[in-house]
Structure formats: structure tokens, C-alpha cells
Amino acid sequence: MLVKSTPAEQRTVLHNVSWETFEALLRDTGEDRGSRFAYDCGVLEIMTPLFEHENPKIQFDRLIFALAVGLETKIRSAGSTTLKRKTITKGIEPDTCYYIQNEPAIRGKQELDLKTDPAPDLAVEIDITSSSVNKLNIYAALGVAELWRYDGEVLKFYQLIESEYIEIKLSIAFPLISVIDMNRFIQQSKTMDEIDLVQSFSAWVRGKIA
């Protein structure tokens, strides 16, 4: 077992964890626990987020929702829902994720099963410290089409192309917005009141589509 702790995140890594044990941990700890799991072929990382991690997650969620409202884009939030598939022995809990292009396919559903349901169209992953598992490989194997990854300073957008993530400048789900635009507002969130931030961002969106 390996434990790493920072002001942003505490990570515990366990090796040789069977899929059945992973499933049992998910079941026993429930959906309301504060930690998030990432599982890759026997390696389980348990990450407990602290303030430096959680605050930008909240800002991303608010800005993405404001963007969808401004663009009148249908969206279904899936939060930190466990995304997993036994056949590839991989699972992960994003900081937040969304159905956008595939929103009609899961509209009205109360449970997700990636054996039959599509993966989320967009996931946001915040890693202030280095993860012990390759999260990009997990998301790619699960089929998440677009990933935004933020390390506390720099935001990167990725698009899934032929089972690999390619860094991109413009969002696929929201072609209006560039990685530079979104990173600018996320940086502003560190020193700006949250209501002012969302209002400023919404005004910027309106200006882009006017």
C-alpha cells in the first residue's frame, strides 16, 4: 500500500486488487463517500479530495452548465458516477461528467450500464498531484469522447481518436469554447467571487453568439 498526501489530495494505492474486491468496495462504501476510485487491471487508487481539488471541480461544473444554458444545448450531468466495465477490468469516478451529444440516449434513465449505454461525452479530471494510475488509458478504454484535464494551473482538452487521446484546442462538445478561454475563467475563479464569475462567463458566452 502506498499513501501520498498533499493539501489538495490524499491518494492510497492498492495492488493486486481483484475485480470482485473492487466491486465489493464500491458496494460497501456507497455513493455518498468522500473518496473517489480509479481501477486499472488490479491497481486501485483511492483519492480523497481536499479544498484545492474540490473548488475548481465546482467551478468547472458551474461554467459548463452556464455554457450549456447560453448555447441552449441539451445536457445531462452524471457527476462522479462510477464508470466501469468488467470485460476490460477498468473503472473510474470522474470529478464530473456529462452527456451532451448522447443526452437523448440516456434521457429518463435512473441507472447507467456501460455494457449497453454510451459513455459520457465529456469528463473533467482534476489531478493537482500525479496519479498512480494512467487515467487517460482508463477513460479511453471506456470510450469517453472528450476529456478536460486540469492540474491546478494548466487545462488541457483531449479528444478520443482511434482509442487514443489527442490534445485539441477547441472543445468537441462545445465548439464555441477554446481551452485558452476556459482556462482563463478557471484562473479567474481563484480570486473572483463565484456569482461574479458565472455572470461574467455568461456575458462572454452571449457576446460570442451575438
| pLDDT over 60 at 7, yes or no | no
Nearest to 15 by CA among 94, 132, 118: 132
Estimate the crossing angle of helix 51-71 against helix 194-209, to 10 degrees: 30
The reported pLDDT for the residue numbered 51 is: 80
Q: How far apart are alpha carbons 163 and 144 in whole angstroms?
A: 10
Mean pLDDT of 57-74: 96
CB-based contact 94:125 (threshold 8 Å) = yes
Distances (CA, A) of 72 to 43, 94, 130, 174, 206: 41, 24, 36, 11, 11
| pLDDT over 60 at 168, yes or no | yes
Rounded to two decimals, the pTM is 0.92
| pLDDT over 60 at 6, yes or no | no
| pLDDT over 70 at 157, yes or no | yes
Q: Choose between 162 and 4: higher pLDDT.
A: 162
Selected from 3.90.1570, 1.10.260, 2.30.30, 3.40.640, the CATH number assigned to the domain covering 50-209 reads: 3.90.1570
Domain borders along the chain are 50-209
User: Which helix H or strand E contains 47, and what residues bound it?
Assistant: strand 43-49
Q: Choose between 110 and 99: higher pLDDT.
A: 99
Q: How far apart are alpha carbons 67 and 148 in whole angstroms?
A: 15
The reported pLDDT for the residue numbered 53 is: 85
| pLDDT over 60 at 181, yes or no | yes
Mean pLDDT of 79-101: 96
The reported pLDDT for the residue numbered 132 is: 79
Nearest to 81 by CA among 59, 65, 96, 64: 96
The reported pLDDT for the residue numbered 49 is: 83
Q: How far apart are alpha carbons 176 and 66 in whole angstroms?
A: 13
Q: Choose between 32 and 41: higher pLDDT.
A: 41
| pLDDT over 90 at 128, yes or no | no
